[in-house]
Amino acid sequence: MFSAPLWLYGLATLAIPLALHLWSRRPREVIRVGSLRHIAELAEARSWSARLTEPLLLALRLGILACIVLALAGPRFSAGRLGSSVNHLVLIEPALLLDSSLIRSDPLLDSLTRSRATVRLLARGLPRVQLDGVRTEFRVPSSEFKGSPLGTRNAERGTLWDLLVSADRLVSPGGEITVIARPRVTTLGGRRPALRARVTWHAPAPPKPATWAAARWRTADDSLLSLTGWGDARGVGYGQARGPEGACADCPVPRSLAVLTRAADSAGGRRLGLALLAVAGLLGQRVHPVRVADSADLILTTAALNDSLLGLDRPVVSLEPAVVASPTLADSVMAHWPWQPLERDGADPREVSVAQALPAAGSAGPDESRDARTPLLLFALALLGVERWLATRPRRRAA
């Protein structure tokens, strides 16, 4: 691929050294002299056209010109391909593999399994998927995974665009990529790339509303306070529920954590509040301060706990007083945070429209290819050095 292919017409300049070479090889009058002994050493007077007749020099000059012209044309080459090119590549969201009923019920998936198309998972490394056309099942060899299976952690999944760019390298120019996935908000960060392949998006049926436990802690011997997440195609939320152990009540009303902060002085209290906000923001949790311990979900204190607090069945983060003045206060709060961080991205079921999920239209490839101008120019420079050395080196003296 060239960014300025019009420069390729410059390859016609290759005809110049070739023509000079042929011209210099034309038969011409030879002067027969008695002796060359006195002029054999005059290397600097050797005719340049004589040196044109040397095939090696000609090849070097052609190479130099070709490199310069190609460099002007702005060649780009792919940084590397994952495998041999295919015309049609099917990418399937890993989550779909968990639901075999979905696969069976989807006519597109069914036809793909029967056509034996090239199928890969829409996960990091694009693991190959083996299709069993008889049983209509997918099997992913464990050796195909580079990371945790099915990319359960967000950091290993990568954005959808990254995966599509990688898949585009596998497809020959003008090929087709069929994506079978639910386009989610959390996977569509960044700028949509322009791909060489034509992308067709197929979104399976939307999932059922989901509910999951974000965090739980015991409040009494027989009761449990749970932070519950819920979501469907319209959005996601978190709620708090209190009930007997084992209960998993849905709390559709979002609510932030109530935190009671106690410090030795008001300045320490403000610092604790700020650290709390920083940690909550980092974890994706909303917090609000309360003044009464009974209504608090978390107690954050640098003071000694009195009996009234000790009797409460609340998570307590007790910090050393000296930590309050430390610049690492937020880190200390984070280290003592009693609940697991909420995996908002992994659990966010919100989807976007297929049109929004498609990459930008255009024939230009992703800017993953590398500019080859510099290597070509360096190579031309090296060739020029060799050519100059060969052209100017002293000739062997005749015996």
Partner 1 sequence: MSGAALSYRFVTARTLALVRDLELAARMVVDGMMLGRHVSRRAGAGLEFSQYRSYQPGDDLRRLDWKLLGRSDRYFVREAESETSITVRILLDATGSMAHEENGVSKLDYARFLAAALALLAHRQGDAVGLYVLSDGRAVTLRPRREPSHLHRLLHELERIQPAGRWPVWSALERALTPDAARGITILLGDLHERSDEIRASVRRLAGAHHEVLCFQVLGDVERGFGYRGTVTLEELETGRRLDLVAERARDRAVSRLEEQLRELRYAVEESGSVLIPCLLAQPFEGPLREYLARRDRRA
Closest CA to 215 of 225, 203, 205: 225
Shortest distance, position 364 Cβ to partner 1, whole Å:
51
- Which residue lies nearer to partner 1 by CB, 29 or 320? 29
Least separation in angstroms between CB 63 and partner 1: 24
The C-alpha atoms of residue 74 and residue 254 are separated, in whole angstroms, by 56
Shortest gap between Cβ of 384 and partner 1 (angstroms)? 23
Beta bridge pairs of residue 299: 260, 316
Residues in contact with partner 1, counted by CB under 8 A, come to a total of 23
**Nearer CB in complex with partner 1: 21/157:** 21
Tokens of 312: 């409460």
Task: Give yes or no for a contact between 162 and 169, defined as CB atoms under 8 angstroms apart.
Answer: no
Closer to partner 1 by Cβ: residue 116 or 397: 397
Q: Which residues pair with 137 in a beta bridge?
A: 132
The residue among 34 and 107 lying less far from partner 1, judged by its C-beta, is 34
CB of 395 to partner 1, least distance (A): 9
Nearer to partner 1, 54 or 110 (CB): 54
Q: Give the footprint of partner 1 on residues 369-398 (CB under 8 A).
A: 398
Distance in Å, CB of 175 to partner 1, minimum: 56
From start to end of 153-307, where are the E strands?
A: 171-180, 198-202, 210-220, 223-232, 235-244, 257-262, 287-289, 298-301
Nearer Cβ to partner 1 (31/134):
31
- Give the span between the Cα atoms of 325 and 293, in whole angstroms: 24
Residues 18-77 that bind partner 1 (CB under 8 A): 28-42, 44-50
B/e letters for 288-319, b = 16+ CB within 10 Å, e = fewer, are eebeebeebbbbbbbeeeeeebeebebbbbeb
Least distance between partner 1 and beta carbon 58 (Å): 15
Residues that bind partner 1 (CB under 8 A): 28-42, 44-50, 398
